[in-house]
A and B are shown apart, each in its own frame.
Chain A
Amino acid sequence: MKKPNDVIIRSVTKVAVVIILTFAINLFISGHHQPGGGFIGGLAFASALILLFLAFDIETVRNHIPLDFKVVAAVGVLISVLTGVGAMLLDHPFLFQAFGYFKLPIFGKTELATAVLFDIGVALAVIGTSITIIMTIGDDR
């Protein structure tokens, strides 16, 4: 059988993945004031990786992203729980959220909240879980 020629889909994927990843990060960051957040941001991020799996094969992607996604999911949950534990160490109730306004070099006056750390955990857990599901179903081994 002749090997199919997929130059077009691979070239488009290379561009599209960058755009999707940017969009995913935008969704993640906008969670506090606009629709978005850790869950949808994580799913969009995972969809970019799945596009890579479709255009290239699983081995190639795995060689370039040498992460065990089960560990990614576990680290995500740990980050989320530990933000709550951090509040406990400072004698606040579990899951207490602190925020403040900071002058950052490029962004100017920005609101930073510890809720973002929790959302990073959620996003990592979502990415890790969805990629693990796809890889487990897709793998022959």
Chain B
Amino acid sequence: MNNLVILPIIIPVIAGMVMVIFRKRIIFHRYLSVCSIIAVGIVTLLLIFQIDQEGVQTLQLGGWEAPFGVSMVADMFAALLILTTCVVALCCLLYAFRSIGQERENFYFYPLFMFLITGVIGSFMTGDIFNLFVCFEVMLVSSYVLISLGGTGNQLRESIKYILVNIISSFLFLVAIAFLYAMTGTLNFAHLSIRVAEAGQDGLMTVVAILFLIVFSLKAGLFLFFWLPGSYSAPPTAIAAIFAALLTKVGIYAIIRVFTLVFYHEPEVTHLLIGILAGFTMILGAVGAVAYWDIKKIITYNVIVGVGFILAGAASLTAEGLTGSLYYLIHDMVVKALIFLLGGTVIHLTGTSRLKEFSGLIRLYPGLGWMFFIAALSLSGIPPFSGFLGKIFITEGTFEAGFIWLGIIGLLTSLMVLYSIMKIFMNGFWGTDTSEENEKRTTKGLLLPLGILTMLTITLGLGAEGIHHYVDLAVEGLINPGIYIEAVFGTRPVH
């Protein structure tokens, strides 16, 4: 029993609810939201330290032993992602202070932000598949409101599509859980793993696994990403950044968790399918990123490429591939938030998202320009920055698993990503300032979160050795499901 495990989930809930009660005090909202995110970060650091010392930490809610109660499981994989979530959320909050506008702040922006974080952290931490569904819904309902908050025409149109797609995928999720429960009679991840291993993963079970894959693909934007470019370009910058950094990553986390812990017996079918879908996702995403001359479209298609890349590592089911996936997942959360905030700042400064309508920004905003350059290099995986190591490990993992075509697709799409993002840099920042009325606007307060994230992507690249120990621990837990199961059940025999 370790009550520290539940704190990252309940701190944002309590903070959000207190904010709803004191609705008018916007300054209080700002302080409370920042303080609670920092508190969650500190708790997560403590948790990481504990996991390092004593192994995977669990909490049986209400004192009911697993599989009968709901377990909360904090393994290193989840804890690292939660820590990254905190950092990214903090930067998006700081950005929102300056950019989101009073009207949205008055209509519960900060409480909704807290509930979104609650759902994301809950999904990372839960040890029970139905609880995963509930945490997904907490996250999604908050995101429905955040995407439509403000009520401009574009937002309303895109939020209808977004809500429809997500309601259908949630329905499929529920159906998949019902099938799985009918076959195994349990909902706890660790117990499911034992039951599936005992009964063997027959054809029917593989079908259910693929149903789960479809559900999580809809959430993560793996191949079924048709809803994503529109939805992610509709909301204001700070909200789009937190969506791009966190929402698809929860789907990716769910795929990795389910297909390393429960359905790992038929990799020739399920993991090959993940690999094929990841390959298509990378190609289609890269084609989209190269095709458009619109900043918002280019960066949203880059989100899709990232999803495909992470899951290419997961599809290999080797230690190298999963290490790469975890490195790249952390890098991707940071750098996608950074690139969305940068793109949003450029749009805020120029008043347009079309690349052909402005140029020469680097004369007026040198800091912004060089940060964009660093982010662009990091996004495509140039060595000193954080994207490099993940790409190396993922490519190594796919080659080792025999998916050589997948590794080659990954490398080729990296080039296309570099081209697409450099297109923004060269057309927008270089050249002569074409428009006359484009006087210098203030970037006060906006540059601070951008600076933090840029520093982070540099330190993650240079100091990759420093977190190597923790990533190794996380991957060890993913490769050996026994560690997770033993942490949940102790040494009690369970069938």
Contact = CB atoms under 8 A, between A and B. Distances in A.
Interface of A: 70-71, 73-75, 77-78, 81-82, 84-85, 87-88, 92-97
A94 B59 contact: yes
21 contacts: A71-B20, A71-B21, A73-B20, A74-B18, A74-B20, A74-B21, A77-B13, A78-B17, A78-B18, A81-B10, A81-B13, A82-B14, A85-B14, A87-B62, A88-B3, A88-B6, A92-B63, A94-B3, A95-B62, A96-B62, A96-B63
B1 interface: yes
A70 B23 CA distance: 10
Contacts of A73: 20
Contacts of A97: 62
Contact of B17 (A77, A84, A88, A92): A77
B6 A94 contact: yes
Contacts of B62: 87, 93-97
Contacts, number: 49
Nearest to A76: B17
Contact of B61 (A71, A81, A82, A93): A93
Contacts of B63: 92-93, 96
Interface in B22-50: 23
A80 B202 CA distance: 42
A70 B107 CA distance: 12
B85 interface: no
B60 interface: yes
A81 B18 CA distance: 12
B393 to A, nearest CB: 36
Nearest to A92: B63
Contacts of B10: 81, 84-85, 94
B3 A70 contact: no
Nearest 7 interchain pairs by C-beta: A74-B20, A95-B62, A94-B6, A74-B17, A88-B3, A93-B63, A78-B17
A70 B16 CA distance: 13
B17 A95 contact: no
A10 B17 CA distance: 37
Contacts of B13: 77, 81
| Residue from the set B17, B20, B59, B61 with the largest chain A CB neighbour count within 10 Å | B17
Contacts of A93: 1, 3, 59-63
Contacts of A95: 61-62
A74 B105 CA distance: 18
Contacts of A75: 17, 21
Given A94-B62, A96-B62, A78 B6 contact: no
Contacts of B61: 93-95
B211 to A, nearest CB: 29
A52 B43 CA distance: 47
A94 B10 CA distance: 10
Contacts of B60: 93
Contacts of A92: 63
Given A81-B17, A85-B10, A85-B14, 8 more contacts: A74-B17, A74-B20, A77-B17, A78-B18, A82-B14, A84-B6, A96-B62, A96-B63
Contacts of A94: 3, 6, 10, 59, 61-62
A92 B59 CA distance: 10
A93 B6 CA distance: 9
Contacts of B1: 93
| Residue from the set B3, B10, B23, B59 with the largest chain A CB neighbour count within 10 Å | B3
A130 B59 CA distance: 33
Contacts of A70: 20, 23
A73 B148 CA distance: 22
A88 B20 CA distance: 24
A77 B3 CA distance: 20
A78 B14 contact: yes
Contacts of A82: 14
Contacts of B21: 71, 74-75, 78
Contacts of B14: 78, 81-82, 85
Contacts of A88: 3, 6
Nearest to B6: A94
Contacts of A77: 13, 17
B111 to A, nearest CB: 8
B382 to A, nearest CB: 45
Nearest to B72: A94
Nearest to A71: B21
